[in-house]
Amino acid sequence: MGSSSYRRHRFPAGVIQQAVWLYFRFPLSLRDVEDMLSQRGIDVSYETVRRWSFKFGLAYARKLRRSHPRADTRWHLDEVFVSINGKNVYLWRAVDCEGEVLDVLVQSRRNKRAALKLMRKLLKSQGFSPDAVMTDELPSYGAALSELGMRARHITGGRINNRAENSHLRIRQRERRMQRFKSAGAAQRFLSTHAAIYNTFNVQRHLISRRTMRQFRAAAMDRWDAMTAAA
């Protein structure tokens, strides 16, 4: 992102970066971010924060995804419904065995075609084929993987897909805080941006020492600063 991206904005790049980081990094509403910036002497409306999150969040996410390390070769897929304007749609979600979010896709169906669309999107974005694909027992997954010639890598049963199911909890938390998503497009934009920023700061703190966690967290902040800095 070049320096021209911040032109004609009243506030400096650092304020915009901080607002976007707060909104996507923590389960905060737009008004929460407005209040936190106000406490620091920065008078910004929640509507301005919303516009920054839409414009700059997507740009930051693209850069973060391009520079992110390659995902693990074991993928977990799952789907969950979300209510948008009184209509249920399905959030298809893919994570690797370490909890990194590989992709999210909001679709109106829960069938083979929807599963196939997710898998093709994953294969294109990741650039490699996984060693194993773990799902629940929804038949759509098996049908889609068979068409792609990957049926032998499909694993189901038991609690094998808890990794993907637990990954939905963060989204449920944000959905409540935002008082539900307003449209399928808005949900897709938010979730895609949230995933890229979540992956950057996902240091697996429960698996590492405090000292290592501090190092990983500092490295994540350095990467965020580098990806969002004006050129």
In this structure, is residue 118 part of a structural domain? Answer: yes
The predicted pLDDT at position 165 comes to 78
Q: Which of 16-20, 48-52, 133-137, 207-211 has the lowest mean pLDDT?
A: 207-211
Residue 15 CB coordination number (10 Å):
16
Number of domains composing the chain: 2
The predicted pLDDT at position 191 comes to 92
Residue range 22-75, pLDDT digits in tens: 999 999 999 999 999 999 999 999 999 999 999 999 999 999 998 888 899 999
**Are residues 86 and 52 part of one domain?**
no
**Are residues 115 and 86 part of one domain?**
yes
**Are residues 79 and 60 part of one domain?**
no
**Are residues 152 and 115 part of one domain?**
yes
**Are residues 117 and 94 part of one domain?**
yes
Strand order across the beta sheet in which 154-155 lies? 101-107, 87-96, 74-84, 132-134, 154-155
**Are residues 131 and 42 part of one domain?**
no
**Are residues 134 and 47 part of one domain?**
no
pTM here is 0.86
Residue range 90-107, pLDDT digits in tens: 999 999 988 899 999 999
- What is the percent of the chain where pLDDT is above 90? 67
Q: Which amino acid is at 38?
A: S
CATH code (residue 176): 3.30.420.10
- Per-residue confidence band for 1, with pLDDT thresholds at 50, 70 and 90: very low
In this structure, is residue 55 part of a structural domain? Answer: yes
Can you give the residue range of the structural domain that contains 122?
74-182
Return the beta strands (E) in 50-203 as ranges: 74-84, 87-96, 101-107, 132-134, 154-155
**Are residues 89 and 45 part of one domain?**
no
In this structure, is residue 138 part of a structural domain? Answer: yes
